[in-house]
A and B are shown apart, each in its own frame.
Chain A
Amino acid sequence: MIQPVLTLDTYGLLCPVPIMKTAAAIKEISAGEVLEVLADDPQILEDMPAWCASNGHALLDTIEEDEEFRLYVRRVK
């Protein structure tokens, strides 16, 4: 069971804004902790894996329900 320490709500926002907000939110948690990102823009399914790969964070899981998404990002460094 993934236990996020912080949840970021980006409902209604279109990429790349959710990614920019994720980049800001990840700085608020410590290495090893998990950020939960709520989104409804499907483009996040392309952008979040790429952002995590380029910035060295781990995308643990992505859950899709009724065209809404919950993504779990572990801060690695």
Chain B
Amino acid sequence: MSKPVKAVGLLSGGLDSTIAAAMLMRQGIEIQGLTFYTGFCVVEHNRRSKTRKRKKPVRNEALQAGARLDLPVEMIDISGPDYLKVLTDPKYGYGKTVNPCIDCRIFMFRRARQYMDEIGAQFMFTGEVLGQRPMSQRRQPMNVIDRDAELDGLLLRPLSAKRLPPTVAEEKGWVDREKLGDIQGRSRQKQMELAEEYGIEDYPSPAGGCCYLTDANFGRRILDFFEYEGKENLTMDDVMLLKIGRHFRVKPDVKVVMGREEGENKFLERYAPGRWRLETKDVTGPTTLVEGHPTDDDLRQIAGMTVRYAGSKADPGTPVACRYEETERILEPAPVEEAVVEEWRI
């Protein structure tokens, strides 16, 4: 018996990539799932930063899809300086916010191609659908991505294959093109029908917006960082903080990050070393981190803002503990006007 053809599938665990994997498994292809950790996934961030008090657990969908389809999943960490360069200096620019989708795809596909060669797979595939997303899933950008990632025709997009030129997998007869999809556009109706046909019931609702880089609020914060701190100085720790809480630019060299709930406060505690940390005493309130070099007056105003967000139980003048490493000061700040807060808000 001949050895089955092996393919690497980029698996997010969403409906499309799950269906694409199932479609190829039905053709006898041996599949190795692959998922990337970028540090920009909204779901992962929510898993990390929110409290445990939720009705439904937030799951790693790629792992869940692997378990559901009985296929192995490799997770590769691509967060780091090389990936950040994609964000700070994208060759093909940004979409509506600071989303460098084309450059991101090229980066991921290059890494996937490398992994494909490492494990001896013959081709790779994604759950991409032609015309589904405005920046990276149109025909012309897809061609650019395939060319720049040096895929040499080895990337199959099973859901839209009949609308695209044949790939190596089809030309060599590893997969039957006639049994692949001809899906195009944003509707998920055909995918849902296929899910029913394949017996796939438990999949996340198709929502999109799973990447912080497409989020307008996050985009504003990134651009603020580029302007005041310099994009060449961006690190993954900065990215982690940009994703969380409320953000205020008090002065060009003083920025405030404030937790909005218990889970975010706990998350921020991990980043307290090397920063001022402010918390209301005696009443529950936000954890506030201060980046930069605040003066005494700055700290007093930031303490006032911390009281403001502590809610109705905190009266003006509620004491605020300000800590920096081993130093602690207690301030009883005056209230900060809403107009000032709004002026600072990023």
Contact = CB atoms under 8 A, between A and B. Distances in A.
A46 interface: yes
A15 B77 CA distance: 12
Contact of B59 (A19, A50, A54): A50
Interface stretch (B67-75, B118-126, B221-229): B67-75
Contact of B48 (A43, A51, A53): A43
> How many residues of A sit at the interface, in one of the four size bands?
10 to 19
B72 A46 contact: no
Contacts of B73: 51, 54-55
A51 B63 contact: yes
Contacts, number: 62
B74 A23 contact: yes
Interface string A4-26: 00000000001111011001000
Given A43-B47, A46-B57, A20 B63 contact: no
Nearest to B75: A20
Nearest to B71: A54
A16 B60 contact: yes
A42 interface: yes
A54 B75 contact: no
Contacts of A41: 48
A47 B63 contact: yes
Contacts of B92: none
A43 B59 CA distance: 8
Interface string B225-265: 00000000000000000000000000000000000000000
A42 to B, nearest CB: 6
A20 B44 CA distance: 14
A46 B66 contact: no
Given A54-B72, A55-B73, A19 B52 contact: no
A32 interface: no
Interface in B44-68: 44, 47-48, 52, 57-60, 63-67
A50 B47 contact: no
A23 B77 CA distance: 12
Contacts of A51: 63, 66-67, 73
A54 B77 contact: no
A64 B70 CA distance: 27
B60 A56 contact: no
A62 to B, nearest CB: 15
Contacts of B33: 54
B198 interface: no
Contacts of B76: 20
B37 interface: yes
Contact of B64 (A17, A42, A50): A50
A53 B64 CA distance: 9
B72 A56 contact: yes
B264 to A, nearest CB: 13
20 contacts: A14-B47, A14-B48, A15-B48, A16-B60, A16-B63, A17-B37, A17-B77, A19-B63, A19-B75, A20-B75, A42-B52, A46-B57, A47-B63, A51-B63, A51-B66, A53-B67, A54-B66, A54-B67, A54-B73, A55-B73
Closest 5 pairs between A and B when the two form their complex, measured CB to CB:
A54-B66, A53-B67, A50-B63, A50-B67, A54-B67
Given A15-B48, A23-B75, A54-B66, 13 more contacts: A15-B60, A17-B77, A20-B37, A23-B74, A43-B47, A46-B59, A51-B63, A53-B66, A53-B67, A54-B70, A54-B72, A54-B73, A55-B73
Interface of A: 14-17, 19-20, 23, 41-43, 46-47, 49-51, 53-56
Interface of B: 33, 37, 44, 47-48, 52, 57-60, 63-67, 69-77
